Amino acid sequence: MRILETIDEMTFDDLANCYDDLYFRRENIAWRQYRLRGDDQPEIYVTDLSEALKPGREVTQYIFQGPMWDVLFWTYDEPVSAVLQRLYRQEVRGIDYRVRALPSMRVFSPFAEVKRITPPQKWTLPHVWKAILSGQITRGRTSLRLTDDYALDNAMNFWRGDLDLLQFARDIIERPSGWWVRVEEETERHILIGVNCHHFDYKKLVFNKSA
């Protein structure tokens, strides 16, 4: 995951060779490029984040498929943001266009304004990601993760290590199935929260009461 101020920080060449999840603050979008097996033509997913994480709303996602970079490299000498507007308006020839609506509460945005929470009596997954995005959960670690390959797990120290909190918030927002939450420990300053997926992925997060 990479968070940038604007898509104009990247060239067409940068985007053509990037398969990371990109988030652009000024345009308020998420960008992801895929290439289908056996097909050299890329598929670009651009998600408008203006309604993300707003209850009862829908998020618009644009999907562009075709010889994107061949067309864009040789046709347009404009900022990438201007060409993106052309794609929205379906003005670029030779590209297939699709638009779909996604449920807003299943679309992560690092730019969403999330209010601070009051520690609940019973923690749920939404409490966790809201506390991450509001800055109240300040650190986290994987304490154990198991795969089907025990030798690899052992070699990797069972994947123990610090969490990228924003990436983890995205994971539990967009793929919430199987996760459960419990309070492990509470002091005057902190709450240690266990956030676990079934019984093979165990995380511990620290909620700072004064954050």
Q: What is the pLDDT of residue 153?
A: 85
For residue 88, the model assigns a pLDDT of 94
Looking at the predicted structure, is the pLDDT value of residue 74 above 80? Answer: no
CA distances to 65, 110, 177 from 40, in Å:
11, 31, 33
Angle ∠(29,22,71) on CA atoms, nearest 5: 85
Q: Mean pLDDT across the chain, nearest whole number?
A: 93
pLDDT of residue 37: 67
188 vs 18: CA distance, rounded Å? 45
* pLDDT tens digits for range 113-169: 999 999 999 999 999 999 999 999 999 999 989 899 989 988 988 888 999 999 999
Contact 46, 36 (CB under 8 A): no
The proportion of the chain whose per-residue pLDDT surpasses 70, expressed as a percent, equals 99
**pLDDT single digits (tens) 6-48:** 999 999 999 999 999 999 999 999 999 998 765 678 999 999 9
pLDDT band at 68 (very low <50, low <70, confident <90, very high): confident
C-beta of residue 43 within 8 angstroms of C-beta of residue 64:
yes
pLDDT score at 136: 97
The amino acid at residue 110 is P
Lowest mean pLDDT segment, chosen from 38-42, 61-65, 176-180: 38-42
Spell out the residues 6+ positions from residue 210 whose beta carbon is closer than 8 angstroms to its own: 189
How many Cβ atoms are within 10 Å of 184's Cβ, its own excluded? 12
Quote the CA–CA distance of 75 and 87 in Å, as a whole number: 13
Entry pTM: 0.90
Res 40: pLDDT: 75
